[in-house]
Amino acid sequence: MTATRIDGKSFAEHLRTQVAEGVLQLRASLGVKPGLAVVLVGADPASEIYVKNKHKSTLEVGMESFEHRLPADTSEDTLLALVDKLNGDDAVNGILVQLPLPKHIDETKVINRISPEKDVDGFHILNSGKLATGQTDGMVPCTPLGCLLLLKEYAGGLAGKNAVVLGRSNIVGKPMAALLLGESCTVTIAHSKTKDLPALCRTADILVAAVGRPEMVKKDWVKEGAVVIDVGINRLPPEREGQKGRVVGDVAFDEVAEVASAITPVPGGVGPMTIAVLLYNTLKATCQKHNVPFTL
Ligand code: GUN
């Protein structure tokens, strides 16, 4: 079997177009322009790129973008004070504090300081609680929601399928498992202590890899016809000096594509979906604030 290549890039473009239309409608009906604030502490190169891309995409869908760049030695109190200010700012509908934060700052404390209604990352304890208990009015983390949208498009009906999620992070693994459970999949979360990972993965109709290990998932880990979603973004060491290494996912794409029915590439799969869903969440937060139905 040669798998269908899941085109996250064009799916994300389509979603961003829908968000842009929603923004236009809000502006026309209420004169409201959704605003997204992104906070970056320090100068982690990968985070810098994400933040730059978020800024550009936010403007492209007609939203207001507020960027706050703070030095790496910013105190926790200073960051919390900025979050408080953004919580109280009517022009700001969504707040994202880029992770990871420097070691001296308590990430959980900062995340839980963001107003749950503005928590477009869906990391606040209230939003994770809503997701865990099936309350649909909360904010859902962007990457797993993006994966779910792709799965709904490419995996047919999800109910009753065996889903294996590799990785148990709060950002991807746990919310991904909750979303799949909400779709009535039979869900297993696997992690570094799981016994016989290849055998477990072979039980999966749906396999989501989010472990951050380059090309870990091989062909013989994957059941014939499975749908494979690769969340990993790993840069390999350069083959020649002075060059950049190749970016690969957590799945050995070429060989797994021989057995899967559909698979996301890296880059161009899950990555573009994350920012599109962030904008979707920002529109949702704005609609909820103004008691306008959110229909995307
Ligand atoms: N760092 C890596 N992924 C994310 C994300 O989805 N949100 C935030 N805030 N930081 C991240």
In a domain, 290, yes or no: no
pLDDT tens string 45-87: 999 999 999 999 999 999 999 999 999 999 999 999 999 999 9
Q: Are residues 182 and 108 in the same domain?
A: no
Amino acid type, 118? K
In a domain, 16, yes or no: no
CA-closest residue to ligand 1 atom 3: 99
Query: How far from 216 is each of 57, 139, 168, 227, 284, CA to CA, in Å?
Result: 31, 31, 16, 16, 36
In a domain, 293, yes or no: no
Among 97, 115, 133, where does a domain finish?
115
Residue 192: domain span:
142-272
In a domain, 2, yes or no: no
Which one-letter DSSP state was computed for residue 71? -
Q: Are residues 266 and 173 in the same domain?
A: yes
Q: Are residues 251 and 195 in the same domain?
A: yes
Q: Are residues 147 and 60 in the same domain?
A: no
User: CATH no. for residue 251?
Assistant: 3.40.50.720
Whether ligand 1 lies within 6 angstroms of the CB of 142 is answered as yes
Q: Are residues 161 and 219 in the same domain?
A: yes
Q: Can you tell me the mean pLDDT for 177-184?
A: 98
Tell me the whole-structure pTM to 2 decimals: 0.97
Query: How far from 34 is each of 123, 135, 289, CA to CA, in Å?
Result: 20, 24, 10
- For a substitution probing ligand 1, which of 99, 111, 112, 139 has the most ligand atoms within 8 Å of its CB? 99
Whether ligand 1 lies within 6 angstroms of the CB of 39 is answered as no
Q: Can you tell me the mean pLDDT for 87-105?
A: 98
User: CATH no. for residue 65?
Assistant: 3.40.50.10860
Main-chain phi, psi angles of 163, to 5 degrees: -115, 130
Whether ligand 1 lies within 6 angstroms of the CB of 140 is answered as no
Instruction: Bin 261: left if φ > 0, else alpha if -120 < ψ < 50, else beta.
Output: alpha
Query: How far from 249 is each of 198, 228, 241, 284, CA to CA, in Å?
Result: 17, 11, 22, 30
Distance 98 CA to ligand 1 centre (A): 5
In a domain, 193, yes or no: yes
Q: Mean pLDDT, the chain, as a whole number?
A: 97
Q: Can you tell me the mean pLDDT for 130-136?
A: 96
Main-chain phi, psi angles of 171, to 5 degrees: -80, -40
Whether ligand 1 lies within 6 angstroms of the CB of 278 is answered as no
Q: Can you tell me the mean pLDDT for 261-283?
A: 98
Report the atom number in ligand 1 closest to the C-alpha of 100.
Answer: 1
Report the atom number in ligand 1 closest to the C-alpha of 278.
Answer: 6
Q: Are residues 97 and 182 in the same domain?
A: no
**The pLDDT of residue 62:** 98
What percentage of the chain reaches a pLDDT higher than 90?
96
Q: Can you tell me the mean pLDDT for 30-41?
A: 98
In a domain, 33, yes or no: yes
Q: Are residues 210 and 262 in the same domain?
A: yes
What percentage of the chain reaches a pLDDT higher than 70?
100
CA-closest residue to ligand 1 atom 9: 98
Count of CA atoms in the C-beta half-sphere (13 A) of 14: 10
Q: Can you tell me the mean pLDDT for 177-199?
A: 98
Q: Can you tell me the mean pLDDT for 269-275?
A: 97
Q: Are residues 55 and 99 in the same domain?
A: yes
In a domain, 250, yes or no: yes
In a domain, 176, yes or no: yes
**Domain tally, the chain:** 2
Question: Which of 180, 256, 185, 269 is closest to 216 using CA atoms?
Answer: 256
Residue 1 has pLDDT above 70, yes or no: no
**The pLDDT of residue 52:** 96
Residue 282 CA to residue 278 CA, distance in Å, equals 6
The model's confidence at residue 241, banded by pLDDT at 50, 70 and 90, is confident
